[in-house]
Structure 1
Amino acid sequence: MTSFGHDFPFDPAYGHTLDELTAVPAPPAPDGFADFWRARYDAAREVATGPEIGPVEEERDGVRVHGVTYTSVGGVRLGGWLALPVEGAAAEVRHGFVMGHGYGGRQEPGPAVPLPLPSSAAILPCVRGMGARGLVPGIPEVPDGHVLHGIESRDTYVIGDCVADLWCAASALGELVPELAGPGRLGYLGESFGGGLGALALPWDDRFGAAQLTVPTFGNHPLRLTLRCAGSGESVRGYHREHPEVVEVLRYFDAATAAGFVELPTLVAAALFDPSVPPPGQFAVHNALAGERGLLVLPAGHFAYEELARDVAGLVAARRAFFGKWLG
């Protein structure tokens, strides 16, 4: 077990050894799980995303970063960023990436640039309710409120629409760079919130050829409901105490359950110590993956420690090698 000095009133390692973490199972899929998600995917693919590229906002590491907007399900217009090779010619683009973000959204492209592979394009969407370019009236932007929005029903829960926002972002990227529109041409990256959304999105979309999920959330909800944390899961735990029937909704939004349907190569970076996303849920996502899988064990997630920069550099290198193998 990894242990760090901390001020949390609970153990962010949850008393688990690595061997125990690699044995955490996924909950079984509820009736109609696959049909539910395939129907949502089909609806998202019908959306005319109408992407629009804004002016260049920055240029670095071989790409020009533009603002971008596109339409998602329900007619919601979302924003984000689009990274294109400096040469600007679509013929130069060999790889494409959709990059999810953590809870709280993104205010700028940040460390997503440089991209995992050269000659790549990427879309960095802000899903509904999140970040500077994803705000939507009526949807809370604060994670503790966002994670509960529409949770009364599987058909209204905001997490389902956020997954659709990723599918529509992939559609927008394919429209802007037609060379990336075929099956298996895209890679997905997501951390924390974006990791959980990715696990839910990937099984149904053959445009993705490989994925990398870092400290993914939403894994094994029945277990998460028993584990105190400092992240959005604590808000769900509080809601569950007053509304125990919510477990039936959460079954359809379990990233570990969905991982059992993920057949594309996937690298998971999971932490031994994490106050915001309990490690057992992270490892449950990895353990359930149905296809080629890789595991990178991190000492900690959502927590600053002395060797963090070194470990981030190791993750970046591992991600580059992984995508080079499966998308190169």
Structure 2
Amino acid sequence: MTRAADFAAWFGPDAFDATYGYDLAALRGVRPCPTPPGFAEHWRARYQRARAVHGTMRRAALGPVGAHELYRIDFPGTDDRRLGGWLALPRDGRVHRGVVQSHGYGGRSGPEPGILSPGTAVLWPVARGLPTASLMPDLPALAAEHVLVGIDSVDSYILGGCAEDIWCAATALRDAVGQVPLHFVGESFGGGIGALALPWDDRFVSGVLRVPSFGQYDLRLQMPCTGSGEAVRSHVAAHPGARAVLAFFDASTAATFLDVPMLLGCALWDPAVPPPGQFGVRNAIDGAEEFVSDAGHAEYPGEAEQLAAWQRRVHGFIDEVDRIAAP
């Protein structure tokens, strides 16, 4: 940030205070939620289940994107589902790393070429039930409905299945390009799911999470928002027993188990994903690199410059992880 943010001027007198009363110092003091008994065992069992999934990725060529060839794909997931997405492979055939890039709770209508770089294969999966590539008749596509699917049981809650989708995407990508190191990039919904999925999968050598969701439910459940968290907040108010389920899907709790290099992008003002939840994830990770933006899930002055700086930081971070890890 190069100047003080003026949220009142940017977002108008009718906008609610999406800092939730936290300045940067207070945000850096947010701690992750405590770990419930059986947390790690639950996630390790899920991971082993997902690693047992194998099958054929189906590809349809879409043509070149710069130095990469782009494909529309689908691949096997858990629960006998097939997940959709896009795959980009270097046209010269030389791959030294892979990237799995997730998405926000609106799903994805196509790939995000900004992550492409030489020697990098990228898979953009779409989580089960979400538009446009993984729509399914038994799952709602609307975020406010999707986020409540199976919420009354640790074994059935949809966020667990979405984490399994990341592991199955990693399997599909490695099946396509070989045993290269993998990096994860996720934003909002994808950032939160990444925090849940990465600690248990040693195929990933780094993670990049921007404005991650699903962090610090002790605070989030007290904070009205415009994102999927509002549906969860309302549900838990009416069904308090669901809070115990959410303890197993708290991204800040899961992040305490991360032991690979991480880059966290968090916002000071965000009406969709309250910043205390984002920083709960960031603060759970000792040694994480940090990028603080003025706002998230909103247009604001200087947004383009900050997003460009973030993109440069992501590429530099991944390059540095690979450089340090190189034999």
Does the 8 A contact of 2:114 with 2:311 survive in 1?
no
Query: Residues 6 and 73 of structure 1: is their aligned pair in 2 closer, same or farther, counting only changes over 3 Å?
Result: farther
In the other structure, the counterpart of 2:159 is 159
User: Which whole-Å CA distance do the structure 2 matches of 1:8 and 1:199 have between them?
Assistant: 33
Alignment of 1:296 with 2:302, yes or no, is no
Deviation track 1:215-264 (CA, whole Å, cap 9, x = no partner) reads 00000011100001000000001101110111100000000000000010
The alignment partner of 1:114 has SS state of helix
C-alpha spacing 1:18/1:151, structure 2 compared with 1 (3 Å) = same
Aligned ranges 1:92-171 → 2 under 5 Å: 92-109=94-111, 112-115=112-115, 117-171=117-171
Letter in 2 for 1:120: T
Q: Unmatched 5+ residue regions in structure 1? A: none
Measured in 2, the distance between the counterparts of 1:152 and 1:243 equals: 9
**Which of 24, 36, 41 is residue 35 of structure 1 equivalent to?**
41
Alignment deviations for residues 155-206 of structure 1 (CA, whole Å, 9 cap, x no partner):
00011000000100000001011142xxxx0000000000000000000000
Deviations, residues 112-169 of structure 1 (Å, cap 9, x unaligned): 2132542100110011011211111111100000000110101000110000001000
Q: Secondary structure at the match of 2:246?
A: helix
Corresponding pairs, count: 317
Q: Is the 8 A contact 1:140 1:146 kept in 2?
A: yes
Distance in 1 of aligned mates of 2:55 and 2:279: 34
RMSD in angstroms over aligned alpha carbons?
1.3
Give me the TM-score of the superposition, normalised by structure 1: 0.94
Which residue number in structure 1 is paired with residue 317 of structure 2?
322
Partners of 1:116 and 1:319 within 8 A in 2? no
In structure 2, what is the Cα distance between the partners aligned to 1:113 and 1:62? 11
1:259 is matched with: 255
CA shift, 1:65, in A, is 1.2
Determine if contact 1:26/1:284 at 8 Å carries over to the other structure: yes
Identify unmatched segments of 5+ residues in structure 2. Answer: none
Q: Which position in structure 1 is the counterpart of 2:194?
A: 198
Equivalences for residues 1-328 of structure 1 within 5 A: 2=5, 3=7, 4-6=10-12, 10-55=16-61, 57-87=62-92, 89=93, 92-109=94-111, 112-115=112-115, 117-180=117-180, 185-290=181-286, 292-328=287-323
1:25/1:178 CA distance change after superposition, 3 Å: same
So what's the TM-score if we normalise by structure 2?
Answer: 0.94
2:136 partner letter:
V
Find the aligned partners of 1:150 and 1:325 in 2 and give their Cα distance: 40
Q: For structure 1, which segment, 303-312 or 197-206, has the greater mean C-alpha deviation from structure 2 after superposition?
A: 303-312
Between the aligned partners of 2:116 and 2:266, the Cα distance in structure 1 is: 19
Deviation at 1:104, TM superposition (A): 1.3
Displacement after TM superposition at 1:289 (Å): 1.0
CA distance in 2, matches of 1:51, 1:279: 38
Q: Shift of the alpha carbon at 1:10?
A: 2.6
Name segments (4+ residues, structure 1) moved above 6 Å. none
Question: Are the equivalent residues in 2 in contact too, given 1:116–1:323 (CA < 8 A)?
Answer: no
Tell me: CA distance 1:308–1:50, structure 2 relative to 1, closer, same or farther (3 Å): same
